[in-house]
Every structure is written in C-alpha cells, then in structure tokens.
Structure 1
C-alpha cells in the first residue's frame, strides 16, 4: 500500500539532482556558508529545504533559488539550445555542515 507519506518522501528524494561543484560555488560556500545544488525545475523552496534536511540530516536556515537559462549553441548551420535548469543555494544553521566525502 502506497501512502501519502511514502509518495512525499519519494518526491523529496528526487528533488536534489546534484551538488554544484564549481569555483563560484566553492567561493560562496567559504564566504557565505551556502551550498549550491542543481534541483528539478518544478521544485519549490519548501521542497528543497525538506529534501536537504532528509538526505543530509542537517538543519536548513534558508533557500535561495535561481532559474538558469540554457545556452544557445550551434554546430555548423544548426542552432540548438540547452535545457533550462534550476539552482538552489542552501544556507545551513550555525554549527551544521555537509560532508560530501563521507563515503570515502
């Protein structure tokens, strides 16, 4: 039997796609104590907060969301466009930390 709680937890596990590991994300993590994640385009701030708290077992202070437009690229005469995506900057409460290298 699939309950509403099971559906909700399954949805939360699908919200976070990947952490953003870039120079800018590393700089923001050091300066503002925020972690950047690539998230689903239909994810909301409360869903992102709940998903981070569920997956990483930390307390989230706030979530900022940015919609990133896909770049226009061309190969010869053909013009194409990459998919749009959403980035979330998650601020953790003081004393909280996410360790991505915990499995090593």
Structure 2
C-alpha cells in the first residue's frame, strides 16, 4: 500500500472511559479512521506508525447524531471507528510520560 494513503487512514485515537478500560484489560486500542478505510489498511497503518504487531481489527460505522439548534434540525457527519487488538507483548503509548 502507498505510504501517503496509510498516513491518512488513522484520523486519531478515541479517548473515552470504555477505550481506556479496553486498553488496560484486553490490549485493545480504539481509533477514529477514515470512512473508506478497510481492515487491512487499518492494520498496516497501525503497524507502520506505532511499530507493533496487530492481532485483529474490528471496524464499525458510527451514525452521526441528530442535533437541533433552535428551530433548525441537522445531523453530524457519520464516521468510522476501529478496535485494534495487539499481539501479547506489544503496546501503544498514546500519552507521553512527563
């Protein structure tokens, strides 16, 4: 795969209570990814950027929430989320230790 495409796959990490518990308990990390990303592209991007071995990748499409401002109704954009399980012995350090 082309390197410039792999750099655009991962939009950013998702930091939530559930994602933190998964990272601690099951060695899984959650990323917001491009809406047209495939499992193989997510695997390759994580392995290249973080220098780790990926065991499995699960992706899901998240529907945008309906929002209302006064009398105007709208909707946020749909997005895609990826759950990345790492091989034992590998870890991703997202927050720098100071």
TM-score by length of 2: 0.94
Query: Could you tell me which of 24, 29, 32 is aligned with 1:35?
Result: 29
User: How many residue pairs were aligned?
Assistant: 98
Which aligned runs of 4 or more in structure 1 are off by greater than 4 angstroms? none
* 1:17 aligns to 2:11 (yes or no): yes
Q: Which has the larger radius of gyration?
A: 1
- Give the SS at the match of 1:97: coil
Corresponding residue number in structure 2 for 1:98: 92
Normalized per residue, which structure has more helix? 1
Any unmatched runs of 5+ in structure 1? none
TM-score by length of 1: 0.89
- Give the SS at the match of 1:11: helix
* 1:70 aligns to 2:64 (yes or no): yes
Corresponding residue number in structure 2 for 1:61: 55
Corresponding residue number in structure 2 for 1:51: 45
Equivalent-residue separation in structure 2 for 1:103 and 1:15 (angstroms):
26
How far is 1:102 from its partner? Answer: 4.3
